[in-house]
Structure 1
Amino acid sequence: MTVIRTAEELRTIYKPPVERAVLKQMSKLDKHAHAFLQRSPFVMIGSCAQSGRADVSPKGDKPGFVRALDDNTVAVPDRPGNNRLDTYENLLTNPNVGLLFMIPGMNETLRINGRAEISIDPELMKLFEHDGRLPLSVMTVKVEEVYLHCAKAFMRSELWNPDSFMERSSFPSFGAMLKDQAGLQDAAADIDRSLAERYKATLY
């Protein structure tokens, strides 16, 4: 297997980026980035532990759930989850994060890179109250790089095209997969039922 080891070797395969791909990168949010955040219900968060172990975790809520506190800071509420805390534990030793925001039906995405902190400031958490429930914490990110990402990946994958959607019954249920992967003794249907009940009770 031939493996690329250096940036010089890499550039023998790939052309230099076009000028607009470089010029589009900003150091703070502009009006278009603000508007994108206000419409986005979903973000993927990439982080890396000090040891080098990488992780990508999803966050989702109603459009605009990630708030821009100003042109240089965004805040992401943390709702109840599985409590693995992969992202948050990474941040304690390596605060660098990459955020990829999506809007259903839109092929372009918004990328924000920066340095994150975990906050339990009461006033900040109050901004994200939902039906009387506060988030467990809020991740604030100091923006260092922000830019729109082109549509090619979504065009190739046809991610938003209903004709490309899988028939869900053609794939095992989450409970069935979890039973196999975790070696659980419960019936898959019971696991699915338990998960559905937990989702209702702990969504917020």
Structure 2
Amino acid sequence: MSQIVNHDALNALYDSPHPLAEGKEIKHLEEHAIRFIEHSPYVVIATTDQAGFNDVSPRGGKPGFVKVLDPHTLAFADMPGNNRLDSMRNLIDNPKMGLLFMIPGIGEIVRVQGSATLHTDEALLDTFCEGRKRPKLVVKIAVETTLFHCPRAIAFAKLWSDDYNVDRTFLPSLLKIIQDQVAS
């Protein structure tokens, strides 16, 4: 087996990217990305821990739960969960993060990268209440790059297709899974 260990060897395997693919990464949120994010009920966030391991965590809510504060800033409330705080701890140690926004039924994905800060400002917390419990903190992201991914991966996975829906009976409940894992 041959291992690829440098960029030249990697590049030799692939054609050059199309100029549109090269140029689609921009340094701010423009109208299409803003509209997409405002309609997205689901985002996957990526952070990095002190040891350099990546952590990927899903976040969901009513479309628009991640707010566009301006073309260079996003924010979302850290709503109550399991209280492990992996992502929040990681952001204190390394503020760089990535976000993948998805909308059910739409194949494209919006990817944002930026630097995050954690806030407890009263006014900022109030903007995220919307009839729910007040969050303990808000994550603000200074946008560094934005791009739209093509829908190829979603299409291959048939993620939004009923054809690939799986009958859950092959897998026990999450509670049972965790109980089994903790017991072993």
- Using structure 2 for the length normalisation, give the TM-score: 0.96
Measure how far apart 1:67 and its partner are: 0.3
Out of 169-178 and 56-65, give the one that drifted further.
Answer: 169-178
Structure with the bigger RCO (C-alpha within 8 Å, sep 6+) is 2
**Structure 2 partner of 1:167:** 167
**Structure 2 partner of 1:63:** 63
**Structure 1 partner of 2:37:** 37
Percent identity of paired positions between Structure 1 and Structure 2: 40
Measure how far apart 1:30 and its partner are: 0.6
**What one-letter code is carried by the residue in structure 2 that aligns with 1:23?**
G
**Structure 1 partner of 2:91:** 91
Deviations 1:52-92 (A, max 9, x none): 12100111000010001101000011100111111111111
Measure how far apart 1:4 and its partner are: 1.3
Out of 162-171 and 69-78, give the one that drifted further.
Answer: 162-171
- For the residues of structure 2 that align with 1:132 and 1:87, how far apart are their CA atoms? 22
- For the residues of structure 2 that align with 1:149 and 1:177, how far apart are their CA atoms? 33
Measure how far apart 1:51 and its partner are: 2.3
- For the residues of structure 1 that align with 2:19 and 2:114, how far apart are their CA atoms? 23
3-state SS of paired residue (1:57): strand
- For the residues of structure 1 that align with 2:131 and 2:40, how far apart are their CA atoms? 21
Measure how far apart 1:12 and its partner are: 1.3
Deviations 1:13-60 (A, max 9, x none): 122211111111111111101100110001000011232121001110
**Structure 2 partner of 1:26:** 26
**What one-letter code is carried by the residue in structure 2 that aligns with 1:143?**
V
- For the residues of structure 2 that align with 1:110 and 1:76, how far apart are their CA atoms? 16
3-state SS of paired residue (2:21): helix
**Structure 2 partner of 1:74:** 74
Q: Which runs of 5+ in 2 are unaligned?
A: none
Q: 1:132 to 1:101 in 2, by over 3 A?
A: closer
C-alpha RMSD over aligned residues: 1.2
- For the residues of structure 2 that align with 1:117 and 1:45, how far apart are their CA atoms? 14
Measure how far apart 1:170 and its partner are: 2.3
- Using structure 1 for the length normalisation, give the TM-score: 0.87
**Structure 2 partner of 1:108:** 108
- For the residues of structure 1 that align with 2:20 and 2:99, how far apart are their CA atoms? 21
3-state SS of paired residue (1:83): coil
Out of 156-165 and 9-18, give the one that drifted further.
Answer: 9-18
Runs of 4+ displaced beyond 6 Å = none
- For the residues of structure 1 that align with 2:144 and 2:26, how far apart are their CA atoms? 8
- For the residues of structure 2 that align with 1:48 and 1:183, how far apart are their CA atoms? 28
Q: Which runs of 5+ in 1 are unaligned?
A: 185-204
